[in-house]
Amino acid sequence: MGNVSDRHGNTHSGDDLPRRALSRGMKLASLPLGLAGRATVGLGKRVTGLADEILGEQAQKRTAEHLFSVLGQLKGGAMKLGQALSIFEAALPEHLASPYRQALTKLQNSAPPLPASSVHGVMERQLGEDWRDRFSSFDDQPAAAASIGQVHRAVWSDGREVAVKIQYPGAGDALRSDLRQLARMAPLFKVLQPNFDVKKLTVELRERLLEELDYELEASTQRQFADAYRGDPQILVPEVVHAGPEVLVTEWVEGTPIAKIIAEGTPETRDRAGLLLATLHFSAPARAGLLHADPHPGNFALSEDGRLVVYDFGAAARLPDGMPLPVGRLTKLTLEGKAEEVVEGLRHEGFVPPGLEIDAPAMLDFLLPMLEPLGADEFQFSREWLRKESTRLTAQGSEAAKLNKQLSFPPSYLLIHRVTMGSIGVLCQLGARARWRDILEEWLPGFADPSES
């Protein structure tokens, strides 16, 4: 395979792969052992209750630091699962969750690029020995790298500039191995959220993550999005040019990355980006029957004509009937203060476990602060607002934290919730201001009229 230097100047050899794979497995295998050891030795009792009743602050901090440290050193599947498990971040204090997010952010840009010989090998296996005949030119240096693949810039034979997404050889095996190992971490999440059906949740996560290995499925998803938004004045989806199991060719579309707008954009540009991200989130289920499920800044840009450019369709929630009606209906009922109807609806959807008695006004007190962006004429998202909500929901002994740990989580809502929370995170990074309620009234079933059925 030959040697290759990553962007940090470290040299790797193809002969390193078995050793690195073994190292990955050993690090991942250490997670459940380390977690169990600290939980047991820390207070000398089995993990049978809530996290804040089992682990002291120092033991909890050491546990989280070990988790973050191991995930932060890994690539591929571990990073993907780490991103997916961000749903559980709210169960951890901010000072523990922050290093985790930072490690994953660094990891996005740290995968060493494939050497040209490996790139050519993948292209030959996927497109045939004459693969170069399909291109007028092909840049061997990757333009971007991600967890399970990298992107090259090229010109298709008809003159179109294209992005060629190539899956790392062995990425599928690595992801499956990581998922098997990390599934053993389920007891930790059972501790953090006792009423979650962790087994079903982890099965749901595994199925969704494994879909990202199938570039032909991703191409089908991207075509579905492109058909829904073709000619749209707000959303721009690059067209698919060619697809194979491990190679995906799409039109190359330039734009100002959302990450750059977060770092140095004007307030007007930040507001525009946030408004379009929210519009995509709520309109896609109605227009495409899909939800773009990877809402991090690297997957979006603003084109010169002010449209939101959407990249990477490997992760998507399939919603052929649109967003579930109860989402809009219960959101509106909460804003209207109809406490008993809200509790009844949450129980029907599986968020309130059978037999659990819930004080309806307390449920409103729990939910309404989360919906503050929808209650105001205009609302500006911010990191400070997000930290305040995180603290409210996780502060030891708070009423919100107590109620949060009594609730369950239906697996069918997992991806919708994860994407919504991820999108809110990006809006807070942008500091975007808008009248968010208008978007929901246009696109979210049941929100404009809660009596809809």
Cα distances from 118 to residues 123, 140, 375, in angstroms, run 9, 10, 53
* C-alpha–C-alpha distance, residues 38 and 187, integer Å: 13
- Other CB atoms within 10 Å distance of the CB of residue 149: 25
- Cα separation, 160 vs 374, in Å, equals 42
Place of tokens 């600290």: 38
Q: Is the CA virtual torsion 199, 202, 208, 213 positive or negative?
A: negative
Task: Tell me the two tokens of residue 74.
Answer: 């890994």
Find out whether 200 and 189 touch, Cβ atoms under 8 Å.
no
294 in catalytic set: yes
The answer to whether 68 touches 100, Cβ cutoff 8 Å, is yes
Concatenated DSSP letters of 53-89: HHS-HHHHHHHHHHHHHHHHH--THHHHHHHHGGGGG
R_g (Cα) of the chain, nearest Å: 23
Q: Is 256 exposed, middle or buried (0-12, 13-18, 19+ CB in 10 A)?
A: middle
Task: Return phi, psi of residue 406, to 5°.
Answer: -85, -20
Token pair for residue 389?
Answer: 């909500």
Cβ distance 290 to 319 under 8 Å?
Answer: yes
Residue with structure tokens 């073709």?
Answer: 230
Determine the Cα–Cα distance for residues 195 and 16; give it in Å rounded to an integer: 43
CA distance 17 to 23: 10
In the beta sheet, which residues pair with residue 318? Answer: 290
Catalytic residue among 178, 271, 294, 312: 294
Largest distance between two CA atoms of the chain? 69
Active site residues: 294
